[in-house]
Every structure is written in structure tokens, then in C-alpha cells.
């Protein structure tokens, strides 16, 4: 084979191996609800959405935004920092960690969505970092364990280092299969925090959020290597934190707007926002 032909075939391979993302995605806001518990994340099923705070989960009617039931944890109990959540088969699975304590420990906490009672727990102990989100996709659990550059560690050292944030794919019984890291473009956006939310979309892409930016990151698994690939950055009326695709309404995604301290002082509180994913013509 000639050198010129080899170069041409290599270029063709690169174009085939890394396809363009196609039409530019856009989010249309459909609803917004005032929800005091929407401080960390949100989960959703066919009839309700579930707003998550550190030690509380509120169950709300999707149509009216009215509170249906609430679970409240005890400050003296084992719950420290509940985060993003997802709902499957009548159970809510919530990411949990001891953030901002050191060493970081993590667990997956399980609730019955009918009774809103805590019914189970799976501990990861001290392994990867602080569990920030969980999802079920393609017959596996997907979870991100966050680490932080924010100086909350011993003697004001970074809490694990943001670059050590890790997405892990687990079997149904929580045996690790593979893991991936975050690309630099997202690490820069996370600044001294980390990836806060994640949910697999109906288009087969994974959607991520940071701690603060009003953006949704559409990513995919790499064809080689260990770093996730960013496909699109989509503006979204959120302030980072947890997200959840509504599997009962394909193309609908929920997020939250965490109220700032200044907003809370004047009486404002957190919100849940709802969007429909479309594409620009």
C-alpha cells in the first residue's frame, strides 16, 4: 500500500469513527414549580416527580405541582447528603454520601415511592468518592462518584481533586464493569466542584450537569480510551445539580433551580423546571 493511500484511508476511518452530532438540540421549557425540597436533585415517574434535599424527599403531582407525600430524615440519623435520584419499578434510588466530610463514603439509598418509606441501602464505603447520581441503562447501573478541588479536605486540602471524578458502570448486583473520567472541557466548567447530575436520554446519549452552570452536557462513551466525549452543550434553565429524563414521556427532562442565599433571605425558594428536547431546523 502506498503512503498516500494509507493516509487517505486513515482520514476516512477517523470520519467514520467519530460521526457528527447532527442537528443542534434545543430545550423548550414546559413548566416550572416552586418546590422547597428541590435543593439537590429530582426524580420522575409516570405521575409524580420527586424533589431531593439532603435529608428530605418530596413527592409531587406532575400536573399540579402539589405535594402528595414527604419523607423526612433525622439529622441525628445516617443520612447526610442525598443527591440525584431516579425512579424504576416503584422504587426511588437516591445517591448518598457524607459530603463534605473526609474520608468520603457513599451509598445508594432506596425508597418505596408509594409509601415514601426508606426500604433499602447498598454501601460502597470508601472507594471512588462521593456518589452524586445514579441511573439504570442498557441492563446496568451507571453512577458518578465526585471528587472536588474545593478545599474541604484535611488542613484545607482539595476534597479528592475534581479530575478524579469517575463514572462507573455496574452490574445489577453492583459489581464494577468499566469506568470513565471527565474531559477537560467539563472539568473546566465544574471549576472547583464536580459533575452533579446525569441521566441517559432517549436518543442514546448521556446527559450531564455541573454544580452551577445553566447548561446540559450531551456526552457519549469513547470508542477508545477512558475519557467521555462531549457532543453538545445545551443551554438549560437550571443551576446545575440533578436532572432526570421522564421515561413515561420520551424527550421530557426535569431539572432544578436551587435558590441562592440572597433569594432565600427575601422569601424565594427552590424550583423544579420541566423541558422538552427538540432540534433546531
pLDDT (tens digit, 0 to 9) for every residue of the chain, 281 residues total? 444 444 343 333 333 333 444 678 999 999 999 999 999 999 999 999 999 999 999 999 999 999 999 999 999 999 999 999 999 999 999 999 999 999 999 999 999 999 999 999 999 999 999 999 999 999 999 999 999 999 999 999 999 999 999 999 999 999 999 999 999 999 999 999 999 999 999 999 999 999 999 999 999 999 999 999 999 999 999 999 999 999 999 999 999 999 999 999 999 999 999 999 998 76
Cα dihedral sign, 159-164-170-173? negative
Distance, in Å, from the CA atom of 194 to the CA atom of 81, rounded to the nearest integer, reads 15
Q: Is residue 66 part of a domain?
A: yes
Helix, coil or strand: residue 170: strand
Q: How far is CA 9 from CA 1, 17, 222, in A?
A: 11, 12, 21
Is residue 98 within 8 A of residue 162, CB to CB? The reply is no
Is residue 50 within 8 A of residue 43, CB to CB? The reply is yes
Q: Is residue 275 part of a domain?
A: yes
CATH number of the domain residue 241 falls in: 2.120.10.30
Which pLDDT does position 200 carry in this prediction? 98
Q: Is residue 271 part of a domain?
A: yes
Q: Looking at the 3D structure of the chain, how many domains does it have?
A: 1
As given in the structure block, the three cell numbers for residue 68 are 402528595
Which pLDDT does position 20 carry in this prediction? 47
Is residue 105 within 8 A of residue 98, CB to CB? The reply is yes
Distance, in Å, from the CA atom of 94 to the CA atom of 134, rounded to the nearest integer, reads 7
Residue with cell 431516579: 86
Q: Is residue 115 part of a domain?
A: yes
Q: Is residue 13 part of a domain?
A: no
Q: Is residue 263 part of a domain?
A: yes
Q: Is residue 6 part of a domain?
A: no
Encode burial over 188-212: b for 16+ CB neighbours within 10 A, e otherwise.
ebbeebbbbbbbbbebebbbbbbbb
What is the domain extent for residue 261?
Answer: 22-279
Distance, in Å, from the CA atom of 72 to the CA atom of 52, rounded to the nearest integer, reads 10
Q: Is residue 111 part of a domain?
A: yes
Amino acid at each position: 500500500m502506498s503512503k498516500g493511500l494509507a493516509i487517505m484511508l486513515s482520514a476516512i476511518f477517523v470520519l467514520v469513527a467519530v460521526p457528527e452530532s447532527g442537528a443542534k438540540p434545543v430545550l423548550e421549557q414546559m413548566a416550572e414549580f416552586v418546590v422547597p425540597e428541590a435543593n439537590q436533585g429530582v426524580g420522575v415517574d409516570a405521575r409524580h416527580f420527586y424533589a431531593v434535599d439532603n435529608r428530605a424527599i418530596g413527592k409531587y403531582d406532575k400536573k399540579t405541582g402539589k405535594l402528595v407525600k414527604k419523607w423526612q430524615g433525622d439529622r441525628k440519623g445516617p443520612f447526610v447528603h442525598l443527591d440525584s435520584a431516579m425512579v424504576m419499578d416503584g422504587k426511588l434510588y437516591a445517591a448518598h454520601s457524607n459530603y463534605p466530610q473526609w474520608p468520603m463514603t457513599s451509598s445508594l439509598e432506596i425508597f418505596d415511592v408509594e409509601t415514601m418509606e426508606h426500604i433499602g441501602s447498598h454501601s460502597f464505603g470508601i472507594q471512588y468518592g462521593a456518589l452524586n447520581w445514579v441511573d439504570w441503562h442498557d441492563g446496568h447501573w451507571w453512577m458518578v462518584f465526585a471528587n472536588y478541588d474545593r478545599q474541604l479536605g484535611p488542613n484545607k486540602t482539595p476534597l479528592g481533586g475534581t479530575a478524579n471524578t469517575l463514572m462507573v458502570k455496574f452490574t445489577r448486583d453492583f459489581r464494577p464493569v468499566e469506568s470513565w473520567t471527565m474531559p477537560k472541557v467539563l472539568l473546566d466548567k465544574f471549576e472547583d466542584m464536580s459533575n452533579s447530575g446525569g441521566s441517559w436520554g432517549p436518543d442514546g446519549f448521556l446527559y450531564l450537569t455541573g454544580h452551577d452552570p445553566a447548561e446540559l452536557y450531551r456526552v457519549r462513551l469513547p470508542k477508545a480510551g477512558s475519557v467521555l466525549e462531549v457532543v453538545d452543550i445545551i443551554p438549560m434553565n437550571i443551576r446545575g445539580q440533578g436532572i432526570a429524563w421522564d421515561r413515561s414521556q420520551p424527550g421530557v427532562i426535569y431539572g432544578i433551580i436551587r435558590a441562592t442565599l440572597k433569594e432565600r433571605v427575601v422569601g424565594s425558594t427552590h424550583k423544579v423546571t420541566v423541558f422538552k428536547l427538540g432540534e433546531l431546523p
